[in-house]
Amino acid sequence: MASKTEKVLSILKLQPVVPVLIVDDAKSAVELARALVAGGLRAIEITLRTPAALDAIKAVAAEVEGANVGAGTILNSKDYEAAVKAGSTFIVSPGIAPGVLAAAADSAVPLLPGTATPSEVMTLREAGYDVMKFFPAEQAGGAAMLKAWSSPLAGTFFCPTGGISLKNAKDYLSLPNVVCVGGSWVAPKELVAAGDWAGITKLASEAFALKA
């Protein structure tokens, strides 16, 4: 488990913001990923919320140099296995379920499991996880909640996702128990639809600059 923790941390530490993408067209995923990588965002999460998601992961993994493509919205072991087969380098779930944890235990590809309560954090700590997703971040108490957790749940690190934007990202990134944040604002639907890859690279660069 320690090696898997190191693996997922090394990916999350590449940048302050991990793009969380809903991809409707696998063909556009490669150009989108290249635009994000050009802006400094190399770890990219493609959520399994559309029929195109697995094909998009496969294409990005094969064709985008420098990208670490992960799969999000993993709800069961079948999703996990399909995402790994498509080429995902990390897996993200919105919560925890026995099937997902079992699949993660059997796989070399690390899991970033979702949590929203101290009890879920404690459950995952018992299972060997030190790095987790906090979701949905804003609705679950925001940066104030994570700040309150930092002492009683010391040694646990988070990637908060949900309701985070350029405006409030630094509230999270300033916390000692936050590794990075997840956000969809770096790839707005209208820019993707228009093929405005330069515009997306600009947003990615602004997000990457939050690291400073």
- Which residues, in sequence order, are bridge partners of residue 90? 70
Rounded distance between C-alpha atoms, residue 116 and residue 142, angstroms: 10
Whether 190 is catalytic is: no
Question: Which strands, in side-by-side order, build the sheet including 157-160?
Answer: 114-115, 131-134, 157-160
Whether 211 is catalytic is: no
DSSP string, 158-210: EEEBSS--TTTHHHHHTSTTB--EEESTTS-HHHHHHT-HHHHHHHHHHHHGG
Dig out the tokens for 89 from the structure: 């380098």
Helix (H, G, I), strand (E, B) or coil at 121: helix
Q: Which among 63, 133, 147, 206 is annotated as catalytic? A: 133
Q: Which among 4, 45, 58, 138 is annotated as catalytic? A: 45
Rounded distance between C-alpha atoms, residue 19 and residue 5, angstroms: 20
Name the DSSP letter for residue 87: T
Rounded distance between C-alpha atoms, residue 172 and residue 186, angstroms: 17
Catalytic residue positions?
45, 133
